[in-house]
Amino acid sequence: MKARHARWQAGKTRARVREKHVYFFGGGKAEGNATMRELLGGKGANLAEMAGLGLPVPPGFTITTEVCRYYETHGQRYPRTLRKEVEENLARVERLVGRRFGDPSAPLLVSVRSGAPASMPGMMDTVLNLGLNDRTVEGLARLSGNERFAYDSYRRFLQMYSSVVLGLKPRSETEPDPFEEALERKKKDRGVELDTDLSAQDLRELVEEFRDLVRRRLGREFPQDPEEQLWEAIGAVFRSWNNPRAVTYRRLNDIPSHWGTAVNVQAMVFGNLGPDCATGVAFTRDPSTGEKTFYGEFLVNAQGEDVVAGIRTPQQITLAASREWARRNGIPEEIRKARYPSLEEYLPRSYRELRSIAQKLERHYRDMQDIEFTIERARLWVLQTRNAKRTARAAVRVAVDMVRERLLDRETALFRVKPEDLERLLHPSLDLSASPTPLTRGLPASPGAARGRVVFSAEEAEREAREGTPVVLVRVETSPEDIHGMHAAQAIVTARGGMTSHAAVVARSMGKCCVVGCGEMEVDYGNQLFRVRDQVVRRGDWISVDGSTGEIFRGQLPLHEPELGAEFSRFLSWADSVRSLGVLANADTPEAAREARKLGAEGIGLCRTEHMFFEPERIDAVREMILADDPEGRRRALEKLAPMQKGDFREILRAMDGLPVTIRLLDPPLHEFLPNTDEEIQDLARKLGLSADALRLKRDALFEFNPMLGHRGCRLGITFPEIYRMQVRAIAEATAELRAEGARPMPEIMIPLVGFADELRILRAEAESVLREVLGKARVPIGTMIELPRAALVADRIAQFADFFSFGTNDLTQTTLGISRDDAGKFLPEYVEKKILPKDPFVTLDLEGVGALVRTAVEKARKAKPGMKLGICGEHGGDPESVRFCHETGLDYVSCSPFRIPVARLAAAQAAIAPARKKPRHP
């Protein structure tokens, strides 16, 4: 009985807590605090926290995100008690401010703002100056002694409320905003440039025009009742959670739609009451570099939206920044001082107070803050603080500096940078400050940014590049013949292909900017142009490519070059000291190996030997080998390739001296190597001393319906043993030569696409016999890739013959999902959009399906051979979420393309520190 009563009591308490929908803040008190983000939204939680700290925050209250969910699921109705709670809280605000809502003699005005648990800047709606009507505006004029200000506030309110709440918007994308149009007309009539030059009478007339506009367009009067205004605005802000902008932003930033937004109702303070008023934004550090300098901008006699709208040139907060700004803009010191003084000079007391509050907030939150403030008649008010958005460079610098300043410990600092952002630091990036509209977009296959003139063939790319013209190679898709053109181009764009298509894999291994699968793009080789909807881009036109976002722009956008400071290495050394996963590179050339080592690779986890054959003088020898009729013909072709292979292996092993280099034996999907065009066939036939028809017949005999499931990987090794024998010999000889020089080469041999234990048994025995011949007793580990579901399911049997496993999750994804890696670009985006798949499974491991196979294989392998080395070398090895899975599954290492090494180092560290954290939080 007692227990039941206790349960009932607990239930009652819970019910009572849920009955509270509104949280007050102001006057040094607050019912909420910063930990209540989910309930109060980021803005509400921080306003409460600041009020609790005794900072000058205009009083107000937050209606919780629970109400947003209720409103959505109850036909846009509110919980029963909400009205009373809002009335009580409004009365509290009135008492603190000493003015009453709707009182014609001393009206209280409020702002009504959104505020979600995660920052969604500018995505939802806001209404300012609420509470004004034809009578209260007169009261405001009397109270402020400033009629112009009162009518300016009223016209702003009419404009904002009509747009946000009443839905009075331009009727089409091309129609100008009718309110802005009226304002412009008025300025023109009066012969003035700025709206601050309009008189009280002008603004009175404008208010009349605005009200008339509402009447004409909506067939109703502008609501005069402040209560009605308030409730309508609250509803509009809740509804704006589901406006298209907010929905898209949530999708792009992984913000769950069930979170909802809170609504903050807060007493207005005015930065536009006269020359001793201002409004602005301050950062506790420079958000672009992370440097520890107080930074920000403000406008005298203005409201917050003016700063955002960029109507007037904002002034700098500090004197030093103001002088620097004037120097850069060629403005003489006297003019700067007179027309654009810093806040430090203009309102020194407010400046000092703001600076000290900023320091206090940064110390309190232990993170860089972005603070919105208003100065009303020389009195400072803080309207908002939040963890500042920052560039990747700034994020690293701030994290390192804050550890030095003892504000953070190293482990916390490691979570202040998103792993994927690190990659951006290594590449140039496009300057998007002018917000250009992309021409089209595809999949972001290889990051970085580049600009160039469009060309449509590898030959042209090479020719133009030789003459010093930067080019972007645009193809329907790429094949090995295009390698030299890809090499010469600044960037590669393809209309087809997925994240692990040929172009994507090769471009990443070259560290070259690449966008694949631009579905809207129609390439017309004949006319040397491509079309995107009604736009045409011709050969020679400039385009700019962003390989990090997949966006393509017309013209030449400015580029920022990458810059790595000492902080970058220090930060990553902290990551290294906590991670347990090894981080190796996928690298096929000595340059890539050297680059990878510089970026912290602890060896090579995948050296794809077929990539070494892509160069023009080699590809013919490979073709000769593939097309040979008998082992003798193949041996002859292989003899040509052997010295090149040995030379490459020697240089790669040298670049990774003392570190393991996993060399994968040949795995060419044959179709990638066969000649396609008539020209290529003629050319090759001539070189091989055959007729074109004979060559065509041979090629056709090799035709495969599904080359990705065809005669590739170890199947080639089983049927043409001389190929792998040549490769193993080249590895062994390169190793022997380096050892003779006193180096410490550490090769490992990896057999691809194994599905049956016997494949590995046979190939291992052959490889061992060649190794013995060249290296005697010295041991070279031999392992296999697990890239077929069958291999994962019989991993214990395969483990008998393997020294290590490396999960080839590109093929494992392709074969488990039955989705071709080359064609996925066509339909996967829609699968992601329709939430059939959470993400592109060729980028982030499909944990449910492919992940289950990996776990099975790990369990079986470890049971059969405890301590066996296990890793991953599919493209997922550089994806933070997949890296976390690898850590949790107990793999020993991940291997990824060189530029993803820093990403993997940090992701591995975060996984090691917070195994329980589902998703680390970032600023």
Question: Which partner, Mg ion, ligand PEP, none, binds residue 608 by CB below 5 to 8 Å per kind?
Answer: ligand PEP
Question: Which partner, Mg ion, ligand PEP, none, binds residue 760 by CB below 5 to 8 Å per kind?
Answer: none
Footprint of ligand PEP on 492-521 (CB under 6 A): 505
The H-or-E segment that residue 605 falls in is: strand 604-608
Q: Is 65 in the site for ligand PEP (CB under 6 A)?
A: no
- Which of 808, 923 has the CB closer to ligand PEP? 808
Q: What DSSP character marks residue 548?
A: T
CA distance 410 to 422: 17
Q: Is 808 in the site for Mg ion (CB under 5 A)?
A: yes
CA distance 341 to 334: 10
3-state secondary structure at position 418:
coil
Give me the 777-796 binding string for Mg ion, x by CB under 5 A, dash otherwise: ----------x---------
The conformational region for residue 332 under phi > 0 = left, psi -120 to 50 = alpha, else beta, is beta
The DSSP secondary structure of 481-545, one letter per residue, reads: GGHHHHHHSSEEEESS--TTSHHHHHHHHHT-EEEE--TTEEEETTTTEEEETTEEEETT-EEEE
List strand residue ranges (DSSP E) for 734-855, in order.
746-751, 782-786, 804-807
Neighbours of 758 (CB within 10 A): 13
Question: Which partner, ligand PEP, Mg ion, none, binds residue 729 by CB below 5 to 8 Å per kind?
Answer: none
Could you tell me which residues are beta bridge partners of residue 473? 455, 492
> Could you tell me the two tokens for 451?
């600009």
CA distance 428 to 452: 14
Instruction: Name the minimum Å distance from CB 508 to ligand PEP.
Output: 10
Question: Which partner, ligand PEP, Mg ion, none, binds residue 606 by CB below 5 to 8 Å per kind?
Answer: ligand PEP
Candidates 608, 650, 654, 884; binder of ligand PEP (CB under 6 A) is 608
The interface region with Mg ion, picked from 129-137, 405-413, 619-627, 804-812 by CB under 5 A, is 804-812
Instruction: Name the minimum Å distance from CB 624 to ligand PEP.
Output: 23
Instruction: Name the minimum Å distance from CB 854 to Mg ion.
Output: 14
**CB-based closest residue to Mg ion:** 811
CA distance 464 to 458: 10
The residue to which tokens 């972005």 are assigned: 370
Q: Is 875 in the site for Mg ion (CB under 5 A)?
A: no
CA distance 18 to 64: 10
Please name the residues in contact with 922: beta carbons below 8 A apart, sequence gap of 6 or more.
Answer: 415, 416, 417, 418
Annotation says 896 is catalytic: no
Q: Is 590 in the site for ligand PEP (CB under 6 A)?
A: no
Active-site residue, from 68, 714, 873, 896: 873
Q: Is 588 in the site for Mg ion (CB under 5 A)?
A: no
Instruction: Name the minimum Å distance from CB 810 to Mg ion.
Output: 5
The interface region with ligand PEP, picked from 128-136, 185-193, 764-772, 809-817 by CB under 6 A, is 809-817
Q: Is 606 in the site for ligand PEP (CB under 6 A)?
A: yes
Candidates 195, 370, 421, 811; binder of ligand PEP (CB under 6 A) is 811
Residue 212, φ and ψ in degrees, nearest 5: -70, -40
Instruction: Name the minimum Å distance from CB 706 to ligand PEP.
Output: 14
Radius of gyration of the chain (CA): 33
Q: Is 811 in the site for Mg ion (CB under 5 A)?
A: yes
Give me the 53-92 binding string for Mg ion, x by CB under 5 A, dash otherwise: ----------------------------------------
- Which of 502, 539 has the CB closer to ligand PEP? 502
CA distance 378 to 133: 27
Q: Is 874 in the site for ligand PEP (CB under 6 A)?
A: yes
Annotation says 611 is catalytic: no
Q: Is 133 in the site for ligand PEP (CB under 6 A)?
A: no
Candidates 787, 822, 840, 879; binder of ligand PEP (CB under 6 A) is 787
Size of the site for ligand PEP (CB under 6 A): 11
74, 226, 546, 751 from 866: Cα distances, Å: 57, 74, 45, 21
- Which of 808, 825 has the CB closer to Mg ion? 808
Residue 242, φ and ψ in degrees, nearest 5: -110, 20
CA distance 923 to 913: 18
Please name the residues in contact with 139: beta carbons below 8 A apart, sequence gap of 6 or more.
Answer: 103, 104, 105, 106, 107
Candidates 810, 816, 882, 897; binder of ligand PEP (CB under 6 A) is 810
- Which of 452, 878 has the CB closer to Mg ion? 878
3-state secondary structure at position 476:
coil
- Which of 232, 787 has the CB closer to ligand PEP? 787
- Which of 606, 828 has the CB closer to ligand PEP? 606
Please name the residues in contact with 449: beta carbons below 8 A apart, sequence gap of 6 or more.
Answer: 427, 428, 429, 430, 491, 513, 544, 545, 546, 547, 548, 557, 559
The interface region with ligand PEP, picked from 103-111, 596-604, 630-638, 807-815 by CB under 6 A, is 807-815
The interface region with ligand PEP, picked from 54-62, 222-230, 518-526, 805-813 by CB under 6 A, is 805-813
Provide the pairing of β-strand 513-516 with 521-524: unpaired
Instruction: Name the minimum Å distance from CB 787 to ligand PEP.
Output: 5
Candidates 58, 102, 808, 871; binder of ligand PEP (CB under 6 A) is 808
The DSSP secondary structure of 191-240, one letter per residue, reads: T-SSGGGS-HHHHHHHHHHHHHHHHHHHSSPPP--HHHHHHHHHHHHHHG
- Which of 415, 842 has the CB closer to Mg ion? 842
Active-site residue, from 502, 611, 671, 887: 502
Half-sphere exposure of 163 (CA within 13 A, CB side): 17
The catalytic site residues sit at 502, 873
Footprint of ligand PEP (CB under 6 A): 505, 606, 608, 667, 787, 808-811, 873-874
Footprint of Mg ion (CB under 5 A): 787, 808, 811
